[in-house]
Structure 1
Amino acid sequence: MQLYLCEKPSQARDIAAVLGHGKKSDGCIRIGNNIVVTWARGHLLEQASPEKYGEQFGKPWRTDVLPVIPQQWKLEVVPDAKAQFRVIRDLLKQATEVVVSTDADREGEVIARELLEYCSYRGPVRRLWLSALDETSVRNALANLLPGEKTARLYDAGKGRGRADWLIGMNMTRVCTLKARETGVDELLSVGRVQTPTLAIVVNRDNEIANFVPVPFLQVRAQLEKEGKAFSALWQPAEQYSDAEGRCIHQGAAAAVAQLCSQTAAATVLDVATERKKEPQPLCFSLGSLQEVCSQKWGMGAKDVLGIAQSLYETHKATTYPRTDCGYLPVSMLEELPEVLDAVVKSDPSVAETVALLDRNLRSRVWNDKKITAHHAIIPTRRAFDISRLSADELKVYGLIRQHYLAQLLPQAEVDVTDASFNLGGQLFRTRGRVPVLEGWKALFRKPPGSNTQDNEDDVTTPDDNERDMPLPVLAQGDCCRVNAGEAEKKETRAPSPFTEGTLIAAMKNAASLVTDLKLKKILRDNAGLGTEATRAEVIQTLFKRRYLEKKGKTIRSTQLARELIAALPDTLTSPGMTALWEQALDDIAEGRLTLDAFMVKQETWTQHLVSKLRSESLALTAPATPPCPVCRGKTRKRTGKKGEFYSCIRYPECKGVVNSNGQRKSAKKTKTRKAEKSEPAS
């Protein structure tokens, strides 16, 4: 029996529909006598909790037994997935071949292969590698099944990710929570391998904003005119009047130059140069870039965008696989272009006129085999669909994906950029002007007249404010321009902007750019990041859930607890560069450049070092005001029992002093122990 093991029921239905007429059975679809399609529901197995590795790791938690480092890793069936697990286990006993048909990425590989390993399946394995779930794509993938060993290293990388997250999450969460209780902070302090450095990025930005001191400077702008065309130019202050950034900080000098402008009739052109610049089409979307733009345009959360992109892929079959880190397309997909365009028009006839104007022979930079990773960019599929079934948000996101794909078939935009310098009363002024020559792909992003939408080229190209489509008159060296006015404008440097979900996703993707340590920077590859396209949204969501982050409009801010926690933790745990290095190592496992065993040895050593360091130090956290212990007069912490909140001695069970929430002492015999909290590792 050939068994197709899918990630979820909808995926199984799509594949079964192409394989042949099937009959649904309990937890599977049977096609004839020899083919069965079954499905998981994401991960059916999870890492065993620490107490499964020894009683000493049970409750109550103790720092002296940490770290917990499994010698033989154990998995358990997720409690609410036992029925489907039994279906898969029984089918694997009958299978003569398994076709792994889960999502074509690291986690998809883990979801399937951990089941094969747990159930001791030893038969042949092949891989169905899908980038889209429309019928044509499924049929092509079925005709080109990969040998199982082709993607087996992805499983090793996925196991490494899961085990590393467990080691840091379980051990650091326990030791930090226990150390915090010593100071009276009764919080479950969730710490994670990816979660914590991501939080540090936000905390560092918030600290930068809080500590920012604006620097005043002045800018002298002259209003010039030639042949009836007005434009402006900026004074270039001499070094003695400027700071290190070239900004004028000498008020008297700026005032004098502004006065000079009012006393001088003409400015002479010293130099002028015009260059025609081409602006290439924006790339198609990776998941991260899609999340960034949707956050910028509509304030959508990263997890919301992932859910929408997944729905467009799975439910509507409108777009290709969403969890991709690539914005490029393989050259071979040029053959599919006519089918994709036909499907786009059939799905939405309103774009027929636009599609008719496209040049199907154009080859933009997006078609590049050397840039392709495990998956290509997100684009429309070759399958027409009912666009009326899309929700308002799905329609927005689909429109963006379609827009960036169609842009590849329009010419590059062209603009003439002119730089000119002037002598105005012996002072140097400069200006820059931009004149659009060819609209090209920007026609697709043009803002409709009278529209308040932001669907315009500003989302993909943002020229400097001083040069934004400011036309200049025809200028030549030696020309004289009339001086109409001059003004010294008071300016201030601005603090960096707080993060949004979109800009935080971008920062996670480019963690290498945040690293200042020269040795670490040298080791990191340019694309080293935190997490993966598939996990970043969930990491951010976890930080909200833990009350480390809070939303203020579109922006994200860290809470006081988060700032104190990051300040108290060692740099090796909060450094984006260190975690990016581990992510880089996981990529090396997937590519065969590093073994899983070698990676885990380093992770175990790192965990032991972190636990040892934290165990010997105190966490400088602000404890809430609590009444003193009525027995030993020590600190208490707020706890919750069956009858509500109360305060108990932080030395419990050695000291059983208890105070009611209203401040009255309780009998020690009636002390209620709090139900111990469950630690959750977080990546």
Structure 2
Amino acid sequence: MTDLIICEKPNVAKKIASALGNPKKKSNNGIPYYELERNGKKIIVASAVGHLFTLEEEKTGEKKKFGEYPVFNIKWVPASTIKGKEYVQKYINTLKKLAKEADEFYIASDWDIEGELIGYHALYYCCGKNDAKRMRFSSLTKNEIIKAYENPDRVDFGLVDAGDSRHRVDWYYGINVSRALMQSIRAVNRWQTMSTGRVQGPALSFLVDRELEIKKFVPKPYWVIGAHLKNELLAIHEKDKFWDEKEANEIYNRIKDEKEAIISSIKKTKKKIKPNPPFDLGTLQREAHRIFRFSPKKTQEIAQKLYEMGICSYPRTSSQKLPKDDNYIKDILTKVSNHGDYKKYAELILRENRKPIEGKKSDPAHPAIHVVDVPKELLNDDEKKLYDLIVRRTLAAFWDNAEREYINVVLNIDGENFKLSGSRTIKEGWHEIYYFTKFDEKELPSLRKNDKIPVEKITIERKETKPPKRYTMASIIKELESRELGTKATRADIVEKLVKRGYLIDDGSLKVTDLGIAVIETLKKYCPEIIDEKMTRELEKKLDRLQKRTIKKENVLKDAENKLRAILEEVKKKEKEIGKELVEKIDTTNKSLKTVGKCECGGDLIIIKTKGKKRFIGCTNYPECKKTYPLPQKGRIKILNETCEICGAPIISIDNQKVCINPECPSKISNEDKKEMEKAEKSEKICPKCGGKLVVKKGIYGAFLGCENYPKCRYTEKLNNKTKTEKAEKVVVGKCPECGGDLIMRKGRFGEFIGCSNYPKCRYTEKIKNEKTKTKKEKK
């Protein structure tokens, strides 16, 4: 008897094989698989490589015009038909070959809709089987894998049908609506690749609503009266915002010369703050974005890697509850106690048999994201950060409440009440472990009722209401979740696609481009059903019912087809009107996406691409103005509409790193760099590639050494090739005013700055004052 276990990815196959026995690694045409024996039975563990099959339009024999729509005749075909995925065929062939040796089949792909579909496709199309045993697990620990193998379930055909239907309906919408938009543009003799989807449309729609709300926003003035007290305390008038300028001025003029405030009341409140619940995927994505600026997609990808390494649990979960199995938890904590950073916490939890808190969210398939083991292999910096975040969140769930004291003081200044507040941490509790949650520490001096406090000055300040904030990569995930758009596994991809297609710009917040606005306004005008959230939510509910087998797959697909046919018929009638509106906005968007900023001559600095596909920044007043700036030939560029504080040149983002476009900007060359430049000019270093002289050059990222024979020889090296030991030396310049740690010199995307050595627990930073940033008073 031979069992064939089908996994989702090669590295998972290796983990499962190792957990079940002592496997021998074999290969078929370069594709690895594993053989082992367990209880006298031969087991083969092989894998897919994600989706082995994809949807494609069926060829009917009729000749169709390019871009013709609607299309609903589709079928599953090998993903190797897609350019760049030819390697997939080798995995299909390997499974087909191994299936001939097997008597029993197990699916061990991820336990969710996509995983069930991937496993079933491999089983059906590669192995020729309709059913199999199903291994279900939430972490790749040895015990979990053995348990899943010895206690298998069967294929969940509700999940398979739901996954198949979602892919088909998404194909219907994505291909047909995109073709409809492109054909509309062709109707006015232009060509432009356009794309949208079933969930992307509604998601972009509410982002456009927010963008238009911001554009139409009219600020409303208000006035704030503040009392500046001794010890740099600031109390605000109890009214907070004065909407009537006359009233604000009357109060200010009456009390502006007062020199004393009397404490009317002091209210102290102590509050216990529970630990945060363990992570579900959405919360992990938001926290990783807030703390590390990781995009939701990046967080999801790293979390998946940590799962496949066997050190964290399955990430695509909605649950905020840890497993109820005490032995499982005890085993994890014992493993974690071997890691020096977490040892004392894990040991105390074990010693006191502590129980974790849990959140409200649950998931029928998987528990919350949690640590399951310590790393057995070297993690890169980003993996370390996310692993540490997950471990600390897991351990903190077992810890004591934090305790905080809040003080609210009311002061009387000539009959007018002012508010003063403070807060401090009394007991660190779980915050000692999960210190990423920021507590505002605002200590007040010892105060008593009827105390008199000197007033240094009374101020009145005119302010304006601000427009609603744009969504960020973190908040958009939460919004999609609350609107029930997309799934926990797809939300990150939805946002990434909208950015990639030029509908959004991510510059810290998500700004909708003119093209994004145009697409939504056009769809709202001519076919509003496509971006209707209600229709998308209704389909998700049908897929849930399909998963529970209370509705038929054929009915779901036919209903989606009928609705889409009706919408597309209306679009066809108005192709020219739609195309004209889209083209106008495309032209405006293209210009704004290329304009970096203003040139000294008054022209626009734009990104220029040559016929050889090289890029640089040049002026629109060429040839009168020949100003140019170099650009790296690789990397994703974003226009930020920001200028450098040091030299005034535009700042752009390259692969999410902000840089000033001016190679001569003083911020790019530190005093240390200047010394290295002097050394390099004297040393007469030789190029190891061609024997030419290495000379100091300046680029967008700062100074470097490059071969004098450029462009024939493109050899470069860093200006400062220090060893790791030398780099680790810290220049201490003082003590941190917030935590007492060392203040050290650091380098960031804007050059050198001073930061606390206790980062990330303490995030105190300050600028380095040079001649350009000194105030007039300091210069005197």
Does 2:367 align with 1:376? yes
Of the three residues 524, 532, 542, the one matched with 1:585 is: 542
CA distance in structure 1 between the aligned counterparts of 2:246 and 2:426, rounded to whole angstroms: 42
Corresponding residue for residue 608 of structure 1: 565
SS of the residue aligned with 1:328? Answer: coil
Corresponding residue for residue 46 of structure 1: 54
Q: CA deviation at 1:266?
A: 5.8
Structure 1 range deviating more: 268-277 or 5-14: 268-277
CA distance in structure 1 between the aligned counterparts of 2:551 and 2:541, rounded to whole angstroms: 10
CA distance in structure 2 between the aligned counterparts of 1:53 and 1:190, rounded to whole angstroms: 25
Corresponding residue for residue 7 of structure 1: 8
CA distance in structure 1 between the aligned counterparts of 2:343 and 2:318, rounded to whole angstroms: 30
SS of the residue aligned with 1:457? Answer: coil
SS of the residue aligned with 2:460? Answer: strand
CA contact (8 A) 1:3 1:95 kept: yes
Q: Deviations over 1:144-202 (max 9, x none)?
A: 32233xx3311121112101101101111111110122234411211101222233343
Q: In structure 2, do the counterparts of structure 1 residues 47 and 309 end up closer, same or farther at CA, with 3 Å as the change threshold?
A: same
Corresponding residue for residue 437 of structure 2: 457
CA distance in structure 2 between the aligned counterparts of 1:594 and 1:279, rounded to whole angstroms: 45
Does 2:522 align with 1:568? yes
Corresponding residue for residue 271 of structure 2: 277
Does 2:116 align with 1:109? yes
- After TM superposition, the structure 1 = structure 2 runs for residues 401-420 of structure 1, keeping only pairs within 5 Å, are 401-420=390-409
Corresponding residue for residue 773 of structure 2: none
Corresponding residue for residue 157 of structure 1: 162
CA distance in structure 1 between the aligned counterparts of 2:146 and 2:265, rounded to whole angstroms: 63
Does 2:427 align with 1:438? yes
The one-letter amino acid paired with 1:611 is L
Corresponding residue for residue 220 of structure 1: 225
Relative to total residues, which structure has the larger strand share, 1 or 2? 2
Q: CA deviation at 1:483?
A: 6.0
Q: In structure 2, do the counterparts of structure 1 residues 185 and 577 end up closer, same or farther at CA, with 3 Å as the change threshold?
A: farther
Q: Deviations over 1:538-573 (max 9, x none)?
A: 223323332333333x33333322221111113332
* Higher-RCO chain (CA-CA 8 Å, sequence separation at least 6): 1
CA distance in structure 2 between the aligned counterparts of 1:3 and 1:200, rounded to whole angstroms: 47
CA distance in structure 2 between the aligned counterparts of 1:356 and 1:261, rounded to whole angstroms: 60
Q: CA deviation at 1:401?
A: 0.8
Q: In structure 2, do the counterparts of structure 1 residues 250 and 4 end up closer, same or farther at CA, with 3 Å as the change threshold?
A: same
CA contact (8 A) 2:3 2:102 kept: yes
Does 2:504 align with 1:541? no
Does 2:453 align with 1:496? no
Corresponding residue for residue 237 of structure 2: 235
The one-letter amino acid paired with 2:75 is K
CA contact (8 A) 1:224 1:481 kept: no
CA distance in structure 2 between the aligned counterparts of 1:129 and 1:320, rounded to whole angstroms: 13
Q: In structure 2, do the counterparts of structure 1 residues 595 and 493 end up closer, same or farther at CA, with 3 Å as the change threshold?
A: farther
Of the three residues 330, 339, 361, the one matched with 1:338 is: 330
SS of the residue aligned with 2:582? Answer: coil
Q: In structure 2, do the counterparts of structure 1 residues 270 and 160 end up closer, same or farther at CA, with 3 Å as the change threshold?
A: farther
Of the three residues 318, 322, 330, the one matched with 1:329 is: 322
Structure 1 range deviating more: 605-614 or 38-47: 605-614
Corresponding residue for residue 386 of structure 1: 376
Q: Deviations over 1:511-542 (max 9, x none)?
A: 2xxxxxxxxxxxxxxxx2x2222222222332
Does 2:185 align with 1:177? no
Q: In structure 2, do the counterparts of structure 1 residues 98 and 613 end up closer, same or farther at CA, with 3 Å as the change threshold?
A: same
CA contact (8 A) 2:257 2:458 kept: no
Corresponding residue for residue 366 of structure 1: 358
Corresponding residue for residue 442 of structure 2: 469
CA distance in structure 2 between the aligned counterparts of 1:7 and 1:217, rounded to whole angstroms: 59
The one-letter amino acid paired with 1:495 is P
Give the number of aligned pairs: 567
- State the identity %: 28
The one-letter amino acid paired with 1:235 is H
Q: In structure 2, do the counterparts of structure 1 residues 472 and 201 end up closer, same or farther at CA, with 3 Å as the change threshold?
A: farther
The one-letter amino acid paired with 1:544 is V
The one-letter amino acid paired with 1:384 is V
Of the three residues 529, 550, 554, the one matched with 2:505 is: 550
Of the three residues 312, 317, 330, the one matched with 1:319 is: 312
Corresponding residue for residue 680 of structure 2: none
Corresponding residue for residue 210 of structure 1: 215
Corresponding residue for residue 655 of structure 2: none
Q: CA deviation at 1:367?
A: 7.2
CA distance in structure 1 between the aligned counterparts of 2:120 and 2:497, rounded to whole angstroms: 26
CA contact (8 A) 2:393 2:434 kept: no
**Residue segments in structure 1 that go unaligned for 5+ positions in a row:** 238-245, 447-455, 512-527, 627-642, 646-683
Q: In structure 2, do the counterparts of structure 1 residues 612 and 325 end up closer, same or farther at CA, with 3 Å as the change threshold?
A: same
The one-letter amino acid paired with 1:403 is R
Q: Deviations over 1:480-519 (max 9, x none)?
A: 65461432222222233333322222222222xxxxxxxx
Corresponding residue for residue 665 of structure 1: none
The one-letter amino acid paired with 2:13 is A
CA distance in structure 2 between the aligned counterparts of 1:342 and 1:198, rounded to whole angstroms: 44
CA distance in structure 1 between the aligned counterparts of 2:120 and 2:209, rounded to whole angstroms: 39
CA contact (8 A) 2:318 2:363 kept: no
Q: In structure 2, do the counterparts of structure 1 residues 124 and 68 end up closer, same or farther at CA, with 3 Å as the change threshold?
A: closer
Corresponding residue for residue 687 of structure 2: none
CA distance in structure 2 between the aligned counterparts of 1:188 and 1:603, rounded to whole angstroms: 25
CA-based RMSD of the aligned residues comes to 3.2
Structure 1 range deviating more: 79-88 or 188-197: 79-88
CA distance in structure 2 between the aligned counterparts of 1:471 and 1:185, rounded to whole angstroms: 66
Q: In structure 2, do the counterparts of structure 1 residues 342 and 546 end up closer, same or farther at CA, with 3 Å as the change threshold?
A: same
Q: Normalising by structure 1, report the TM-score.
A: 0.75
CA distance in structure 2 between the aligned counterparts of 1:367 and 1:236, rounded to whole angstroms: 36
CA distance in structure 2 between the aligned counterparts of 1:247 and 1:183, rounded to whole angstroms: 53
**Residue segments in structure 2 that go unaligned for 5+ positions in a row:** 81-85, 589-610, 614-780
Q: In structure 2, do the counterparts of structure 1 residues 206 and 317 end up closer, same or farther at CA, with 3 Å as the change threshold?
A: same
CA distance in structure 1 between the aligned counterparts of 2:458 and 2:304, rounded to whole angstroms: 55
Corresponding residue for residue 70 of structure 2: 67
The one-letter amino acid paired with 1:39 is S
Of the three residues 487, 505, 519, the one matched with 2:477 is: 505
Q: In structure 2, do the counterparts of structure 1 residues 256 and 547 end up closer, same or farther at CA, with 3 Å as the change threshold?
A: same
Q: Deviations over 1:326-378 (max 9, x none)?
A: 2321322x4333332332232x324334545557444343277x734421122
CA distance in structure 1 between the aligned counterparts of 2:415 and 2:221, rounded to whole angstroms: 25
Does 2:255 align with 1:253? no
